[in-house]
Amino acid sequence: MILDELSPKTVRNAQAHDWILSAPKGNMNLPAPNVFNPTDYCDAKFPVLLRKSSYSTLWYKADTMFSTSKVFVKIYFNCPHATSSPESEVLIDIFTWLLLDYLNV
């Protein structure tokens, strides 16, 4: 059945009755506000730019709450020959998969 054809005449009574029974009840409410969501961002610490070159950008932000190291790496390969042929497309995909596997991503 096409959606344009849906009307009370085309929908069987039993199917319409099932839809009415499965409609949301009136007792649905929004969840309680999350008390852990911050409202004041004045104390937020921003990352510090350590190094910027034409090939990379390095930022640093200390984790003072858990004292653990965190790393986020985003690598953009600018290689025009990577899409020059089907073979090079496959090889760059394999290289990417191997790199991600090596980095345990």
Q: What is the dihedral of CA 35, 40, 42, 45, to 10 degrees?
A: 30
Kindly state whether residue 90 falls inside one of the protein's structural domains: yes
Give the global pTM. Answer: 0.36
The pair of structure tokens assigned to 105 is 């991503």
The contacts of residue 80 (CB under 8 Å, 6+ apart) are: none
Q: Tokens 């999350």 map to which residue?
A: 34
Could you tell me the residue range of the domain that residue 96 belongs to?
Answer: 10-102
What local confidence, expressed as pLDDT, does residue 71 receive? 73
- Binned at pLDDT 50, 70 and 90, residue 94 comes out as very high
Residue 89 pLDDT greater than 70, yes or no: yes
- 21 phi, psi to nearest 5 deg: -70, -30
How many domains, in total, are found in the chain?
Answer: 1
Kindly state whether residue 1 falls inside one of the protein's structural domains: no
Kindly state whether residue 5 falls inside one of the protein's structural domains: no
Average pLDDT of the residues in 47-52: 88
Kindly state whether residue 3 falls inside one of the protein's structural domains: no
